[in-house]
Amino acid sequence: MNRRFLRQALPFLTLAVVLAATFYVQPRTMSYFGLNLMLQYAVPIALATIAQMFIITVNDLDLSIGPFVGLVSCIGATLLLDNPLLGILALLVLIATYGAVGALIHIRNLPSIVVTLGLSFVWLGIAVLILPSPGGKAPVWLKALMGVQTPWVPFPIIAAIVIGVVVHLALMLSSYGVIARGAGGNPKALTRAGWSMLNTKVIMYMLAGFFGVLSGLALLGLTTSGDAHVADRYTLYSIAGVILGGGEFIGGRVSPLGAVVGALTLALAGSFLIFLKISPDWQIGAQGAILIIVLALRALVSYGEHKR
Amino acid sequence: MIGKLLRQPWVFSFGAAIAVWLATIAYTGGQGAGAILTAAFSFATFTIIVGLGQMMVITTGPGNVDLSIPATITLSGVVAMKVMDEDTGRMVIGIIAALGAATLVGVFNYGLIRLLRIPPIIATLSSSFLVLSAAISYGRGIRIKPPEPLAQFAETQVFGIPIMAFAVLALSIALAMVLSRTVYGRSVLAVGQNSRAAWLAGLNVDRTRFLTYVLSALLAGVCGILLSGFSRGAALNMGEEFLLASIATVVIGGTSVAGGRANVPGIWGAALFMYLLVTMLNTFGASAGIRLILTGLMIIGVIVAAGGEEQR
């Protein structure tokens, strides 16, 4: 078996192992209801991970996605509920802002880490202004969508597959996707071939904003009330999800299916650790350990894949 | 002369800090101008200590960053307080234990990066989870007060300037000397500019990066000890705010995010600026939301004004 294949299969194998371990520790989770309960929060995490992946594709990093998802949940629980038209408009403005930030970063050649760091304060500030304390209510249709009972296969699994496949088709198989990934691989070559780096970056940032909005709405459908701080951990989850899924920080090497699988693994690992009855003190530590083990395996697999 | 000065990247951060301070005292009509500066020097020193460590790590090249600083601060604070156990006689051993724990974190970080080839951002993130868990588990229970001399050191002022600030000034000058005059410092810059060229030139890239990650962890350890002296005890969330602060000070201070160019004075300017900014917004009576938004916009504004990297 060649290493390249093994490397791409690793995220899926990891998920299978974590899933098997969870079933072993708590056999009752091996049911429609159990899977639904364990994986429902994987949907917004997967969407945020995809958003982060678009930014990583063009060699940037988004440190603001967590607070952004929180802001969307606040807008969804207030404006979108009271005045749907205005709510949708606000969300569109947010996506446009993401695009503008992409343009600013490209034109002034700014470090994305710092700009998005600043941006994270802005999102959090707006969210706190809208909802100083958790509150509001999720629109009924959103709750219904996230609580839908699909036959045979639980909704979160179907949603994850749909998200992964759609983005995979768009980014990995379409000709525009090749250009987008090329923007991360070799921006100079792309510019010389006559493509606009500015356009590419703006589009990728707007896609990230779009998926960030989807993530916030999905999360709101589950939590049913808005909270500025609800998704603070998503920034780290999304970065870890992309990397767990086989993506790399530079060179446009990303994998949408892998990213979704990485997000599922992270969400599942949380439940698994609770079933293991590890002391709450070590819950976060155990998540760190899982990350390290998976990445160590990847290092083992790709060792010698390409000599440096 | 003035043109040359204006091109120095750190001038921006000091300019911004002074502007914000002037705006604040203009609003208060000159009242509390000195007190604000004293507070700024007290609080900024903690940010400066970890900012210097983060600066060294970021300077070793693209992708290098230390996200385990907050967890290391917490661990060091907890270890120091627990080992000292409010006993002045045990202060030295407490400091040694805390710095030892911090050093271990640095060694572990680089082990993950080098041996397991994990990107630094993820490696230090994962290790920070482990470190935080260790701190939570070890520090369970009562709040322990720092021994009196430690608290004294963290609070004493001379002419309105905390002596801690002088100590950190000495540290900064030492680090600037190390960067420009020692083999290690020059290696950090060379590795950051082009690690392959540095390697071909015979520099020990691994050792340079290893020492830098350990240095960053060590400085986080120092920050943890001083902070628990200053705030009269360690808390499990004491490191939290320093993740963003350490990165923001480095970049606002004019250190290149692409690596290879460090800027020590800029760390001071940026740390003072960030503290004074929050003070100004508090003085203006801004609500929490407005304060956050303006802080964010200011960070973006400074980086836009200072400009990005030139194309390579």
Question: What is chain B's pLDDT, residue by residue, as a tens digit (312 residues)?
Answer: 566 666 677 787 888 889 889 988 888 887 888 888 888 898 999 999 999 999 999 999 888 999 999 999 999 999 999 999 888 888 999 999 999 999 999 999 999 999 888 889 889 988 998 999 999 888 875 578 888 888 888 888 888 888 999 999 999 999 999 999 999 999 999 999 998 999 999 999 999 999 999 999 999 999 999 999 998 888 888 888 898 889 888 888 888 888 888 999 999 999 999 899 888 888 888 888 998 898 889 888 877 876 655 443
User: Are B300 and A124 an interchain contact pair (Cβ–Cβ within 8 Å)?
Assistant: no
A117, A279, A287 member nearest B299 (Cβ): A117
User: Are A281 and B136 an interchain contact pair (Cβ–Cβ within 8 Å)?
Assistant: yes
Which DSSP category does B85 fall into? Answer: T
Would you give the distance in Å from CA B114 to the centre of its chain? 24
User: Are A250 and B289 an interchain contact pair (Cβ–Cβ within 8 Å)?
Assistant: no
Q: What span, in angstroms and rounded, lies between the C-alpha atoms of A28 and A25?
A: 9
**CB of A103 less than 8 A from some CB of B:** no
Residues of B in Cβ contact (< 8 Å) with A104: 304
Q: Is residue B12 part of a domain?
A: no
Which amino acid, residue A280?
Answer: P
Domain count for chain B, please give it: 1
Residue B142: predicted pLDDT: 55
Comparing A19-28, A94-103, B24-33, the range with the smallest average pLDDT is B24-33
- Asked if residues B150 and B225 have their Cβ atoms less than 8 Å apart, the reply is yes
- Asked if residues A136 and A226 have their Cβ atoms less than 8 Å apart, the reply is yes
Q: Is residue B246 part of a domain?
A: yes
Residue B47: predicted pLDDT: 95
pLDDT band at A3 (very low <50, low <70, confident <90, very high): confident
The token pair that represents B168 in the structure block: 């950190």
Residue B2: predicted pLDDT: 67
Q: Is residue B19 part of a domain?
A: no
Q: Is residue B114 part of a domain?
A: yes
Q: How distant is the Cα of A291 from the closest Cα of chain B, in angstroms?
A: 6
A101 pLDDT above the threshold of 90:
yes
Q: How distant is the Cα of A154 from the closest Cα of chain B, in angstroms?
A: 31
- Asked if residues B91 and B149 have their Cβ atoms less than 8 Å apart, the reply is yes
- The mean pLDDT of chain A is 88
Which amino acid, residue B253?
Answer: G
A150 pLDDT above the threshold of 90:
no
Predicted ipTM of the assembly: 0.85
B116, B118, B308 member nearest A111 (Cβ): B308
Q: Is residue B61 part of a domain?
A: yes
SS3 B40: helix
Within 8 A by CB and 6+ apart from B117, the residues are A299
pLDDT band at A165 (very low <50, low <70, confident <90, very high): very high
**CB of B312 less than 8 A from some CB of A:** no
pTM here is 0.85
- CB neighbourhood size of A262 (10 A): 29
A224 pLDDT above the threshold of 80:
yes
> Nearest residue on chain B to A238, judged by CA atoms?
B122
Q: Is residue B216 part of a domain?
A: yes
Q: Which domain holds residue B229?
A: 34-306
Q: What span, in angstroms and rounded, lies between the C-alpha atoms of A305 and B117?
A: 13
User: Are A288 and B125 an interchain contact pair (Cβ–Cβ within 8 Å)?
Assistant: yes
Pairs of residues, one from chain A and one from chain B, whose beta carbons lie less than 8 Å apart = 146
**CATH assignment, A3-302:** 1.10.3470
Which amino acid, residue B116?
Answer: L
Residues of A in Cβ contact (< 8 Å) with B286: none
Q: What span, in angstroms and rounded, lies between the C-alpha atoms of A107 and A160?
A: 35
CATH number of the domain residue B174 falls in: 1.10.3470
A108, A119, A281 member nearest B307 (Cβ): A108
Residue B295: predicted pLDDT: 83
Q: Is residue B21 part of a domain?
A: no
A307 pLDDT above the threshold of 50:
no
> Of chain A residues 256-285, which have a CB less than 8 A from chain B?
279, 281-285
**CB of A118 less than 8 A from some CB of B:** yes
Residue B1: predicted pLDDT: 59
A304 pLDDT above the threshold of 80:
no
pLDDT band at A278 (very low <50, low <70, confident <90, very high): confident
Residue A300: predicted pLDDT: 79
Q: What span, in angstroms and rounded, lies between the C-alpha atoms of A171 and A178?
A: 7
User: Are A108 and B308 an interchain contact pair (Cβ–Cβ within 8 Å)?
Assistant: yes
